[in-house]
Amino acid sequence: MQLANQRLRVQKPVAFRRALAIPPAAFLAVFFTLAASGPLQAKTMPALAPPASFSELAARVSPAVVNISTVKTIKGGGRVFRHFKRNPFGNDDGMDDFFRRFFGENPHRKFKQRSLGSGFIIDSQGYIVTNNHVVEDADKIKVILKDEKEFDAKIVGRDANTDIALIKIKPGEEKLPVVKLGDSDAIKVGQWVVAIGNPFGLDHTVTAGIVSAKGRVIGSGPYDDFIQTDASINPGNSGGPLLNMQGKVIGINTAIIASGQGIGFAIPINLARPIIGQLKRSGEVVRGWLGVTIKDLPKDLAEYLGIKDRKGALVIDVVAGDPADKAGIRSRDVIVEVNGRKIKNSHDLTTVIAAIGVGQHAKVGIIRDGHRKEVDVKIGKRPDTRKLAKNRRPHQQEELGIRVTDITPETADRLNLPDAKGVMVSAVEPDSKGDQAGVQRGDVIKEINHRTVAGVADYSRILGNIKSGATVHLFIWRAKAGFLVLKLEK
C-alpha cells in the first residue's frame, strides 16, 4: 500500500518533533461525583480519584528502562549539519555560527553527533525496544542500566515506517530485569498512564498523566495510530515506555508537538508487538502491498458516486505489474471493503493491507462508475521506501531537489492553510535548484506554469511534461507571506 503522500520520502511536519524541548506539563485533576436520577430513586456513582502513589510502579518497572547513548558521524556542513548538530540540552554556545560567518563551511569536515534516548528490556536475552530515530545511522550504541552498568548494543532491526527499532546487548551472567507488554486496545481515554525515560539525560525520570486520545494521525508515516497523553515527554524520552497502572507497557513514547504543552504521542504496543516479533526473527518487517496510490474520498466525488457516508479510499494511480493492476483495479476506483472489513479511509486501507500476509489472496470490494464489484487480489510484498525512491524518475524529486506530500484536511486545519489543495514541500535538498530558487519546507505549491496542482500525482505529471532546461514557475502559498511566484530552470 502506498499513500499519495508517501510517493516521495517525507519528513515529519514542522509542527511535530521527536525529542524537542517543551516545558513539563502541569497536572490539574478535577474530580466530580456523578449522580443518576430516576423517577423513584437517585443513585450516586463513586467518585474517581487518582492513584495514591506511583512509587511502587516506578520502583518495579524502572530497572527495565534503559538509557541509550549514540554516536553518529556527519560529514560536511550547511543546513543539513546545523539541523542535526543541535544537542538535546539546547545550550548551543554560538561558536559554530561565528566560524561559519567568518571562515565559511568546511564540506569535508566530519562531525560526531551524540544523542540520548530511552528504551526498555523485553526479555532476559538482552533485547531492547526503542525508536528508530534514536539509533538510526548510529556508529556506536551504548546502553546504560539503572545500576549504571554499561553495555555495547547492536541493531537487530529497524522499521522506519513506524519508528520502531530492536537492539540487543550481551548481558553475560547479568540477570536482566524485564518489562511486561500490556494491551493498548484495552486502555481508555481518561485513564492514568506513566512515562519513564531519560529526558535531557536525567535518567529514570517518572512522569504521570492520562490518555488524552487514541488513534491520532499526526502525519509521521503511513501507519500513524498514536496514543495521545499529557504525561510529560521531553528530549531523551524517545523510545521509553508508556505504562498502565499495572506497570505493563501500552505504548512507546515517540513524539511531541513543539509548540504545545502536555501533548505527547506514543506508538500503541499492539501495533508494535508484531513488528518487534518480525524484527527479532528476521531483522526486517514484511508488509502486504497492493501497488496503488490512494487518498481519502473527496466530498464532491463521494456525492457524484452516490457514496453517502464518504467511506473508502480513492485510487489515484495503479503501479503497472503490481497486485492491484493484475487484479484489474483502476484509477478512480473506490476501495470500500477488504475481506469483509469496511474501509473508512486511505489510512485504514493502508493498515489493513499491510497486515495481510504476502502471497495471500484478499477479496477487495470496489465501487466503479457507481457500481459495486469485487476483485480477488494476490497480496504482494511492500517494497522498501528507499528502493521506491530509487525507482522514481529523477525529475519528480531529485532534479529539483524538492520533496512534496499531499495535504490532508487534518494537515490543512492544523497549519491553518487556506484549503487542502496543492502539495506541501516536506524537504528541500541543500544547493539544489529548488533551494537556489528559494523554495522552503512548508511551502504549498498551488500551480506549476499556470497548471493547477491538486496533489502529488499532478505535481509529478506536470513536471514530467516540462522539458529539461525549460523555465518552471512555481505559484506557492507561504505562511506569513501569502502567495509568491518562484522561478527556476529545470
> Judging by DSSP bridges, how do beta strands 241-243 and 192-197 pair with one another?
antiparallel
Distance CA 352, CA 435 (A): 38
* β partners of residue 124: none
Distance CA 164, CA 110 (A): 28
Measured CA to CA in angstroms, residue 364 lies from 186, 328, 348, 386 at distances of: 29, 11, 14, 28
Closest by CA position to 186, among listed 245, 106, 109, 254: 245
Distance CA 248, CA 183 (A): 8
Distance CA 118, CA 197 (A): 6
Distance CA 440, CA 424 (A): 10
Q: Is 264 left (phi over 0), alpha (psi -120 to 50) or beta?
A: beta
Distance CA 205, CA 203 (A): 6
For residue 360, the tally of other CB atoms under 10 A from its CB is 11
Cite the active site residues.
133, 163, 238
DSSP assigned state of 81: H
Backbone angles phi, psi at 458, to 5 degrees: -65, -45
Exposed/middle/buried for 49, CB within 10 Å: 0-12, 13-18, 19+? exposed
